[in-house]
Amino acid sequence: MQNFPNNMLDAIRGQLEAENISLATRMEELKKQDPFADPSRANDNAASDTEASELSGHDRISALIEEVKKQQEDIDAALRRIIDGTYGVCSNCHKLIPIERLRILPTAILCLDCEGKKF
């Protein structure tokens, strides 16, 4: 059911794969920034305000990591749809998602009409 020219799908695939690499790099950077990643942290006797700051930093980094994971999952799902020929088809109404929407959000699974009905 592929309705997009192969060269267009190849370009989208390339964009998604590049974004996945960028996200993997971002993930590694975030993990290094996590205050809880420091092995010496367990042995220090930090003041409670320092401990609270580390906890807050850890929570912030954890939230960012979860967001990156979600983006990676969305990209992986889009790549699978390209492979199985369902990319660009709304998962709700099964109509084609406009290419303009896919250019802005290449991981989109809903057309604008169905996206609007979610709320």
**Domain assignment of residue 13, yes or no:** yes
The count of domains in the chain is 1
Say if CB 106 and CB 8 are below 8 A apart: no
**Domain assignment of residue 49, yes or no:** yes
**Domain assignment of residue 106, yes or no:** no
**Domain assignment of residue 26, yes or no:** yes
**Domain assignment of residue 72, yes or no:** yes
**Domain assignment of residue 50, yes or no:** yes
pLDDT band at residue 109 under the 50/70/90 scheme: very high
**DSSP output for 78-89:** HHHHHHHT-TTB
pLDDT value of residue 2: 47
**Domain assignment of residue 107, yes or no:** no
* pLDDT tens-place string over residues 30-80: 999 887 776 555 555 555 555 666 667 788 999 999 999 999 999 999 999
pTM of the model: 0.79
**Domain assignment of residue 109, yes or no:** no
pLDDT value of residue 35: 77
Q: Which domain holds residue 33?
A: 6-87
